[in-house]
Structure 1
Amino acid sequence: MRRRIWLLAAAFTALWLVQVAQLWRWQVREAPVLARRAAAQRMRALQLAPRGLVLDRLGRPLTDPQPRWDVAVFPALAGSPDEVARALARATGEPAPVWAGRLRAHAGAGPYWAGAELTAGPARAVAAAEIPGVAAVPRPVRYGPGALARHVIGYVNQAGGQLGLEAAFDAELRGDAGPHVAAFVDGSGRPLEGLGVRAVDVPAGKPPLSIRLTLDGRAQAAVERILDGWSPPGPGAPLRAAVVVLDPRSGDILAMASRPQFDPLRPPVGPGAPGAAWAPLVNRAVAPYPPGSVFKPVVAAAALETGAVAPGEPFECSGSYTIGGQTFTDPRPGGHGRITLAGALAQSCNITFIRIGYERLGTDRMLATARRFGFGAPVGIGLREEAGGFLPAPRYGGEVAQLAFGQGLLVTPLQVARAYAALVRDGLLPPVGLVDAVLGPDGTPLRRGPRAPAVPALAPEVARQIARDLEGVTDPNGTGTGRNAWVPGWGSAGKTGSAEVVTPDGLVVHSWFAGWTPLRDPRLVIAVLIEEGGAGGQGAARLSREVARALLDAGGPRPARGRAP
């Protein structure tokens, strides 16, 4: 009897535990899903804010969302499209055929947005008209005319994020919880009389999350104003350029801009789109280009660190150098004569760098130093479009010589900015980041964005030596190629670059400048690329100077919330 009692108690206990487990599953683990299903059964709803915001480092929206109202239409409660169109035309003053076209673009019995983009006055008129099954609801346009960093943020369509951070963080930005406009129905799907259309909050599901970037909105706007006012290098084509502004202390990307510009509401998708021939959707700040002479400090660093060259050692530049029947000429007719490494950097002497790279270093040591500077791999800031560039493996003499003065490899402006920040940081590549944090609905950081780790690239004393040598490039009283990059009142240092590229239309020269400012206690590292811009000491150097002046004279970017430089 006792054994039977224990068995019976055990059976009841097991059943009770099963019931408890089932209740826990329904009320805890699956509660959001079940609540969502219940809400879907009793109402037909449209979400008011399906995506989170993209904010700058101080929490300011970068997409310039515009206050607009849209018309929500619930066909089950409304009359025919023609009747609704006539009623909306009376309320707003827009022609009925325009409204009819908007309404007929949507098929099916489910609710939809008419895509009207009303201002406050017509929206109030629609509300006052009390049209059955129709409501005018605040629904801001995501991208306004002042939207910044468009190549960084990208754009979104009905399928989700298609470019930039909109694509890379699509899962975080979109959500299905939060405020909706809804009509209530019974178990058969028929509308419940008397309830009409109203705003409701749907707590179940995933809320849209926002992302906070390291970009400074004011700095970004200043850089883009300068680019928009900059004349293209030649007629018949828009400006094709990129600017990256980096804080060398924290590694934060403060501004990243690319041109040509595009409209995120009407992106030029497809070869027949206006301006598509100029690749306006390409983010040139993370696209690969030959660096030309902005790569020479890397070669100089390899030479000093390995002891292949002494800091004050003289070289002879006759203006030409022949390897295996291939003759290289220096941009300066007749050459530079007797010149040191510092002078070769200041005057961008190709022949000296051929002597250093080909005669002293060789391929392996140049490439090893380039990899330590971050070239050949993506920086890793969370953008799918970011290229890793290309490091060759030259073995023939002419190829090794070209590598020594920055030809034959591909780098991105972002990689160049990070490499030059390492010279400011005594040889340490800073931990570069673009997305500071993913934010919850209340603005609380849920997790940090990807950030490239800080790694040593160069011995501190060598980095300091190269940094001192690059001061001679921009010295306004010297003979360096980068004097146009000197920032009055602040100073600067850096390197120009003129990269030759063979295109179907012939040989073109891309213009580069990379450097930092102020000269003492640098706060900004700036990398500039202008496609077909010619000599780097002209277009890119001048553009860098204007960017630096705009940012420094305005007080410079402000620290991010909760982040110390």
Structure 2
Amino acid sequence: MIIRKRATIFIVITFLFLLGLIYRLAEIQLIRTESFSASKVNLIEESVRQRTQVMVLDQGRGRFVDRNGKALTHDYFPSLILFPFLKHTQWPVEELASILQVPSSEIIKSIKDIKEPIVYGAPDPVALSETQMEQINKLKIPGVFAVHRQSKVEDLVAEHLIGIIRQDRDQVLKRYADKVEEGNLSVHTPIGILGLQQVFDEFLLPEGESKLMYHVDNQGGPLFGIDVKYTAPANPYYPISIQTTIDKSIQEEVEKITTDTKLKKGGVVLLDIKTNEIVAMVSSPSLNHSNPFSSEGGAHNYLLEPQIPGSVFKTIVAAAAIENNIITPNRLFNCDLDIYGQIDDHKLGQLNFEDSFAQSCNQTFASLANELVKHKPSTIEDFANKLGLIQPVGWNGDVFHFDDFNQLPVNRSGRIWEDDTDKSAERAVSQTAIGQKEVRVTPLAVANMMGTIARGGEKKQVKAVSKILYKNGSTLFTFKDQALEGEALSPYTIAKLQQLLHRVVTDPKGTGRRFQALDTEVAGKSGTAETGRENIQKEKLYNKWFAGYFPATSPKYALVVVELDVPGNQAVTNDVFYKIVDSLE
């Protein structure tokens, strides 16, 4: 009985084991072939991968181009693809060499030791003409193909704005669990993790790779003869292109200037005044692709993050004072005093309103702000909104099934007051008037303010992308110009602001007088903001700004340069602004 019982138990256990094994085999080969295990492994893909030699021509992800159609992320180059089996066959290498105008021995040498398909001439591929491509393909040599192959642009630009992609299994599952479950997306697919790559990721996702495939046995020999297959997604309109508003040539020049002048932290934003589009944007320090979110990874785009503006903010107080008619022609301000009425280290004497703005007298704007706030506590923020300074300024709207779509990865508001009780505290109002205390605005919003003034008061959202294009170049979606909501300034106030900003440069004592040496007339406002921080040498650190537009009388560009956390005597802000304007003359 005991032996029979043990035998029964053994048979049952064996049966259950075999049943489990059969189920496991069925799961692998029949049930979950395209999404196996928690890692969602596509077993069919993996099996094919082990038995094929592949040359990927296009990974399928959409790309970014500049406003003129120049590639910003990757482009398509005419390339010659050679497969390994050629070294074991007789083929007309002389005919190919004749078309390429190279010795046939060079071609034979290039494939002598290869085990995978190659791009001939890589890492510096031979540049083929369209005529050469046509001649090569007419030869119909198995294993020899002249095709347009995707290639990464060597010198990437506008990296903080464009962003980066990388493999991130957890994020793929979080964002696109349904696509993975349906087998339409692999967990290993690179996705956007920063910048416009992240914002437009769903538009850019690949529908599949375009590739040349050659099946081999476990020795690397031909499995089905020497037939090379071409596979590609069925949809001829994809992958798409995102047409940005960036001008690649200008962007490259701005990046060079920023690097050469050693602007360590901060950045530059250049807007096209007519369209309110970003023409160039540079944030420093540069981006570390391998570890962008580390303490020194450079992931911050400082142009999109609120900063302390300093005297640039006096533009708002000036606008409020003009529109509220509290400026009289003969009114003078004691600019020997600081904002608290104490003797200032930088004595400027008795100045009228216009001279006060040009020479950036703190006492004048502290006095005016207190008058304005006593009359109406919300005055300062009201006028900041009229110039689009503290509201999110990036393009926002409906795009297909995306409601409330933001073009920019960060579309943050600024702020003026953190505590409303500060409006009744004279010292707090005085500090606020000169862009200190709790005032925080993004450099992009400051550029938008300058663009608004230069356009005559017309408020617009800022665009970084103009169109989404199909693969064939036709338009899938156009981002139309959109107004910023809210009231605008009167034409009279705008005209007065234009005069004030121009005088900052033309006045012999103006804070922007250095720019008089330029061939192009500039209008703008400087700013020096105390940060309350020190470096290891115990030097006080400041935010140094210059924001303006040019040409002053017929504006084309709005430009903001800001350097953050810099000792005042080491700032290169004006150098950068000067050189950029000079380069665009």
The question of a shared fold, defined as TM-score above 0.5 by the shorter chain, is answered with yes
Q: Which ranges in structure 1 are unaligned for 5 or more consecutive residues? A: 1-36, 75-89, 104-111, 122-131, 186-190, 233-238, 553-565
* Equivalent AA in structure 2 for residue 344 of structure 1: S
* Unaligned 5+ runs, structure 2: 1-41, 85-108, 127-141, 168-189, 217-221, 396-406
Matched ranges for 1:130-529 at <5 A:
139-144=149-154, 146-158=155-167, 159-177=190-208, 179-182=210-213, 193-194=224-225, 196-204=227-235, 207-232=238-263, 239-262=264-287, 266-271=289-294, 276-277=295-296, 279-310=297-328, 313-322=331-340, 330=344, 332=346, 335-362=347-374, 363-381=377-395, 382-392=407-417, 393=420, 394-395=422-423, 396-407=425-436, 408-449=438-479, 452-454=482-484, 456-475=487-506, 478-486=508-516, 488-503=518-533, 505=535, 507-529=540-562
Number of the residue aligned with 2:173:
none
For 2:80 and 2:360, the matched residues in 1 are separated by: 59
- Return closer, same or farther for 1:213/1:269 CA change in 2, 3 Å cut-off: closer
**Change over 3 Å in CA distance of 1:491–1:321 after alignment to 2:** closer
Cα deviation, residue 397, structure 1: 2.3
1:320 is paired with a residue whose SS is: coil
Answer whether contact 2:243 2:469 (CA < 8 A) is retained.
yes
- Tell me the residue number matched to 2:187: none
Instruction: Say which is worse superposed, 358-367 or 156-165, in terms of deviation.
Output: 358-367
CA distance in 1, matches of 2:146, 2:501: 61
Q: By how many angstroms is 1:248 displaced?
A: 1.4
Q: Aligned in 2, Cα 1:535/1:304: closer, same or farther, shift over 3 Å?
A: farther
Displacement of 1:445 in angstroms is 1.4
Provide the residue aligned with 2:125 in structure 1.
120
What's the offset of the Cα at 1:200? Answer: 2.8
Q: Does the C-alpha gap of structure 1 residues 201 and 425 become closer, same or farther in structure 2, counting only changes over 3 Å?
A: same
AA aligned to 2:359 is Q
Contact 2:82–2:111 (Cα < 8 Å) also in 1 = no
Percent identical pairs in the alignment equals: 28
The superposition leaves residues 428-471 of structure 1 with CA deviations (integer Å, 9 ceiling, x where unpaired) of 22342110000011111111237552455311110110110121
Q: Tell me the alpha carbon deviations over residues 39-65 of structure 1, each in whole angstroms, 9 at most, x when there is no partner.
A: 999987867232222111111112365
What is the distance in 2 between the residues matched to 1:331 and 1:443? 61
TM-score normalised to structure 2 length:
0.68
Once the 2 structures are TM-superposed, how far is the Cα of residue 163 of structure 1 from its aligned partner? Answer: 0.8
Instruction: Mark the CA change 1:118 to 1:320 in structure 2 (over 3 Å): closer, same or farther.
Output: closer
Kept in 2, the 8 Å contact 1:48–1:181? The answer is no
CA contact (8 A) 1:486 1:545 kept: no
**Structure 1 residues 313 and 422: CA distance shift in structure 2, 3 A:** farther
Shift of 1:201: 3.2
Q: Matches of 1:360 and 1:241 in 2, distance apart?
A: 32
Structure 1: distance between partners of 2:291 and 2:153: 15
In 2, Cα distance between the equivalents of 1:310 and 1:290?
30
Choose from 62, 66, 72 the match for 1:62.
Answer: 72
TM-score, normalised with respect to structure 1? 0.71
Contact 1:180 1:201 in 2 (8 A): yes
Change (3 A) 1:182 1:66: closer
2:578 corresponds to: 545
Higher deviation after alignment, 402-411 or 301-310: 301-310
What code does the residue aligned with 1:427 have? G
Q: Distance in 2 between matches of 1:431 and 1:536?
A: 36
Cα distance 1:297–1:410, how it changes in 2: closer, same or farther (>3 A)? same
Question: What is the CA deviation profile of residues 405-433 of structure 1, one whole-angstrom value per residue up to 9, with x for unaligned ones?
Answer: 01121111110011011111222223421
493 and 330 in structure 1: CA distance in 2 versus 1, 3 angstrom threshold: farther
Determine helix, strand or coil for the equivalent of 2:532: strand
2:59 to 49, 52, 56: 49
Give the letter aligned to residue 386 of structure 2: R
Does the 8 A contact of 1:483 with 1:537 survive in 2? Answer: no
Structure 1 residue 492: Cα displacement: 0.9
Preserved CA contact (<8 Å) 1:179 1:200? yes
